[in-house]
Amino acid sequence: MTALAAPALVLMVVVNAYPVLYAAQQSLHDGSLIAQGPFVGLENYRTVLTDPSFWKAVRFTLVFTLCGVLGSWLVGYALALAFRRPFLGRSILKVAFLLPWVVPVVVTSMSWNWLVATASSPIPQFFAALGMPDVLFLADPTLAVVMVCLFKIWISFPFMFLMMSAALEGIDDTVYEAATVDGAGRVGALLHITLPLTAKSTYISWVLMSMFTINDFPTIYLLTGGGPVDATTSLVVLAYRSVFQSFQPGYGVAVAFLMTAALIGISLALFRSIRKAD
């Protein structure tokens, strides 16, 4: 098995090693996009860790990740439970619920901008009709955070729906029949059978969705651009701005490496949970 995996591992190392090593070198220099600049050691990391904008981006990234992972999982799991039993039109509805994930994020973000971006958009107009004028969802910092999180849940729940549907398919119906004979109700079966038996798939989906969400650049940038007043600036958006707009690759790459370290820590914690689920 190791011998079969060796060519793929070697190719992965060759393809990724140079960019990672070059980026690590950039993070130790005070340079630009065209020149490496003088060696400054860990000064870029010290600057990042003492920068209030970095910690503001950390807070938003945590909120964005928690909402994206748990929110999409709750919606996807609920739909998977609802679709577990056959009913008329089940296949058509399953395909329909995959559309938010299948449609390009550019198209989806344009639709959401049309719905909420300006005072003349349909949803602000609806709130105005209820006597709440000037509800600008992308101009208010708090509302912008809420909208970005909802947008992430909307485009991510189909993935969780697929993962949880596959996990539920692996549970033998005789387990539920035995639980019913023992007097277990629907809530008891959910808590003591369904959730434990799908725990491994749940943790795997959390690991994957955490990676997707923390590294998610287009969702935020296309909807809010990181604004207003940096309220929706995540770590990946901050790194992009630093490298390609402020032309500070050392700072931006340092942010990216710190973000990677945090993601590895989260993944390791969830992998421990996967082993416990086994």
pLDDT on residue 158 = 94
pLDDT on residue 191 = 80
3-state secondary structure of 130: coil
Task: List, as one string, the DSSP characters of 247-264.
Answer: --HHHHHHHHHHHHHHHH
Query: Which backbone phi and psi does 39 adopt, to 5 degrees?
Result: -75, 130
Q: What is the mean pLDDT of residues 162-168?
A: 91
Is residue 275 exposed (0-12), middle (13-18) or buried (19+ Cβ within 10 Å)? exposed
Q: What does the alpha-carbon distance between residue 58 and residue 93 come to, in Å, rounded to a whole number? A: 37
Give the tens place of pLDDT for each residue, 80-93. Answer: 999 888 788 788 88
Q: Which of 64-78, 126-140, 174-188 is the least confident region?
A: 174-188
pLDDT-derived band at 278 (thresholds 50, 70, 90) equals: low
Return the higher-pLDDT residue of 53 and 267: 53
Return the higher-pLDDT residue of 129 and 241: 241
Work out the angle at residue 150's Cα, subtended by the Cα atoms of residues 228 and 129, and round it to the nearest 5 degrees: 80
Cα distances from 248 to residues 20, 23, 49, 259, 278, in angstroms, run 17, 12, 15, 17, 45
pLDDT at 139 over 90: no
Q: Which of 17-26, 149-158, 181-190, 222-231 is the least confident region?
A: 181-190
pLDDT-derived band at 232 (thresholds 50, 70, 90) equals: very high
- pLDDT above 70 covers what percent of the chain? 98
**Alpha-carbon torsion angle 234, 149, 138, 251, nearest 10:** 0
Q: Which of 42-51, 68-77, 177-186, 190-199 is the least confident region?
A: 177-186
Query: Which backbone phi and psi does 135 adopt, to 5 degrees?
Result: -90, 90
The domains located in the chain, with CATH, are 58-245+259-277 (1.10.3720.10)
**Alpha-carbon torsion angle 166, 169, 175, 180, nearest 10:** 100
Return the higher-pLDDT residue of 31 and 210: 210
pLDDT on residue 126 = 85
Q: What is the mean pLDDT of residues 55-67?
A: 94
Residue with tokens 């849940």: 153
3-state secondary structure of 101: helix
pLDDT at 1 over 60: no
Per the CB < 8 A criterion, the answer to whether 232 and 145 are in contact is: yes
